[in-house]
């Protein structure tokens, strides 16, 4: 493959994007399990976590609800990036996922700005890729949240 462009930064970014795409295809070929794409799995996890959070009390309930809301960022951003009304699509997805197993594979359809059964439409992601992404995102969030004080540079003493 030959990549050409105007600036070196553009070439480097293109090379990273092509490399990422090839690695995803490689992993997809090796994977035996897939999940629905288009934000379907994030919406289903969000629904599950919201239901679970109703069974507990205290600060943990707030944390779990916040994590569930953060998962909905993926389908919201997919819809926004495709130029569609993300609020409308997110509401449709919440309704569809609320009905249970029949709606678990519904995600964003970027072709027509609606929702679709991504599993039936062959919009899949390798489950291993999704597990790694969720694990890495959770680790990063935990790391940021573990910082319990602000680090400041002290003012120099005046003489």
pLDDT in tens, 103-141: 899 999 999 999 999 999 999 888 888 998 999 999 988
Least confidently predicted of 8-17, 34-43, 68-77, 142-151: 142-151
Which whole-number Å values give the CA distances from 43 to 3, 10, 60, 96, 152, in the listed order?
A: 36, 33, 20, 10, 39
CA distance 61 to 5: 50
CA distance 114 to 108: 6
> Has residue 149 got a pLDDT over 60?
no
CA distance 157 to 151: 18
CB atoms within 10 A of CB 115: 26
Closest alpha carbon to 38 in 157, 125, 131, 134: 125
- CATH topology for 37-131 is GROEL; domain 1 (1.10.560)
* pLDDT band at residue 159 using 50, 70 and 90 as cut-offs: low
Instruction: State residue 29's pLDDT score.
Output: 81
Q: Does the model's pTM come out above 0.95? A: no
Sequence ranges of the domains in the chain? 37-131
Radius of gyration of the CA atoms of the chain, in A: 20
Selected residue with higher pLDDT from 142 and 115: 115
The tokens describing 53, both together, are 């959070």
Kindly report, residue by residue over 74-109, the tens digit of the pLDDT: 999 999 999 999 999 999 999 999 987 788 999 999
Instruction: State residue 148's pLDDT score.
Output: 59
Instruction: State residue 71's pLDDT score.
Output: 95
Residue with tokens 């609020």: 87
Kindly report, residue by residue over 17-67, the tens digit of the pLDDT: 999 889 878 877 887 888 999 999 999 999 999 999 999 999 899 989 999
CA distance 98 to 114: 17
């Amino acid at each position: 493959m030959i990549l050409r462009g105007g600036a070196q930064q553009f070439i480097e970014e293109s090379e990273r994007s092509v490399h990422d795409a090839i690695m995803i295809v490689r992993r997809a070929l090796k994977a035996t399990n897939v999940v629905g794409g288009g934000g379907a799995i994030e919406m289903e996890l969000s629904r599950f976590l919201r239901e679970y959070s109703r069974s507990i009390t205290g600060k943990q309930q707030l944390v779990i609800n916040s994590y569930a809301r953060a998962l909905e960022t993926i389908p919201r951003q997919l819809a926004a990036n495709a130029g569609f009304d993300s609020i409308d699509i997110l509401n449709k997805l919440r309704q569809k996922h609320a009905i249970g197993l029949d709606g678990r594979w519904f995600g964003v359809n970027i072709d027509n700005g609606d929702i679709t059964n991504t599993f039936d439409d062959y919009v899949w992601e390798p489950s291993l890729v999704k597990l790694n992404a969720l694990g890495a995102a959770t680790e990063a969030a935990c790391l940021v949240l573990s910082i319990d004080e602000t680090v400041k540079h002290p003012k120099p003493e005046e003489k």
